[in-house]
Structure 1
Amino acid sequence: MTALPEKRFPSTADRIDRIDRRLTSRLTMRGVVEADLPELLRVDREAFPEEPFHYFELRQSFDIHGDRILVLDDGESLHGYVLFVTTSDGYVNWIKSLAVTPELHGRGLGRRLMLEVLRRLRTEDVHQVRLTVEPTNAAAITLYRSLGFSFEGGVRKDYFGPGEDRFIMTLGL
């Protein structure tokens, strides 16, 4: 029996999906190292083209909170990161940034990063995790709600300055 043409010649979408599955299966999560800073900047610029971190912000975050940055690495380049910072009293942790490169959105990588952060924070006796999210970022809101985060009030107008509205979401641990 002869295979149908679509079976012999997979669509471009099918080939891309297979490549993406191979790539995501190779990704390892690890702590950031200084040599990662240029790649970290690239990931942030791809994920947030309108408002990426400046290099000095990532540099300072690494210098101060280097043990609080996890990256997704395929052995050649980075594809995501999460930056999380605990208050000095150890009670509250803020997720400062979660980013996955656009070509890998929808593959569960943001969830993977967040689950690891939450696992670590539970061992540290952190009581609450907080984050901000742009009100129009439906994918992020859906992710955070699925992890148990809830809204703290309504939209905070101008939270990050004029026109920079945010929701604050919290999760008790």
Structure 2
Amino acid sequence: MTALHTHRTARRLRLRGVTEADLDALTLLDREVFPEEPYPYFVLRQLFDVYPDHLLVLDDGIALKGYVLVGTAPDKSRSWILGLGITRDERRRGHGSRLMLEVLKRLRGIGVGEVLLTVSPANTAAIQLYENLDFAAEKGVRKGYFGPEADRLVMRLQL
């Protein structure tokens, strides 16, 4: 795989598992990517404790530039993409695909049967990314999925 570079810093983005030492930086990244409703630190902490093998980050050596977080059922029948985020300065460079392809490879490797995710119906770039990875939208938009005014499209991939 070729190294991914930023245009400004020309730093290689290394894909790696998150560490406990990354939790503060991960919290800041999540706040930047999802300013309306970021995960609180304690939730990211608990998700790290529960799903450490499926929390991957892109690191340029100075800061985290992206992450993917997956929760998997104990019987490995299904997994949910709980978060995928890339900093604004690194979007549209294939980093979301890179993170998703790696985590999907890992999920296949442990025998997960299907992967689900939700996405805002207005987020056409994310929907296109997921469709390019063979996710298919379930019928219609789920109104109020995350509460009032928080509609979501549920997408599914059979592995």
Q: TM above 0.5, one fold?
A: yes
Equivalent residue, structure 2, for 1:90: 76
Structure 1 outlier segments of 4+, above 3 Å: none
Equivalent residue, structure 1, for 2:3: none
SS of 1:18's partner is coil
Number of residue equivalences: 154
Q: How far apart, CA to CA, are the structure 2 residues paired with 1:136 and 1:68?
A: 27
SS of 1:56's partner is helix
More helix by share: 1
Displacement after TM superposition at 1:19 (Å): 2.2
Q: Kindly report which structure 2 residues correspond to 1:15-164, keeping only aligned pairs within 5 A, or say none.
A: 18-19=7-8, 22-23=10-11, 26-164=12-150
Q: How far apart, CA to CA, are the structure 2 residues paired with 1:112 and 1:88?
A: 25
Q: How far apart, CA to CA, are the structure 2 residues paired with 1:123 and 1:109?
A: 21
CA RMSD of aligned residues (A): 1.1
**Identity over aligned pairs, percent:** 55
Deviations 1:89-122 (A, max 9, x none): 2111100000101111101100000000111111
For structure 1, list consecutive stretches of 5 or more residues without a partner in the other structure.
1-16
Q: Which moved more, 1:58-67 or 1:30-39?
A: 58-67
Displacement after TM superposition at 1:61 (Å): 0.8
- What is the letter of the counterpart of residue 77 of structure 1? A
SS of 2:47's partner is helix
Q: How far apart, CA to CA, are the structure 2 residues paired with 1:84 and 1:18?
A: 29
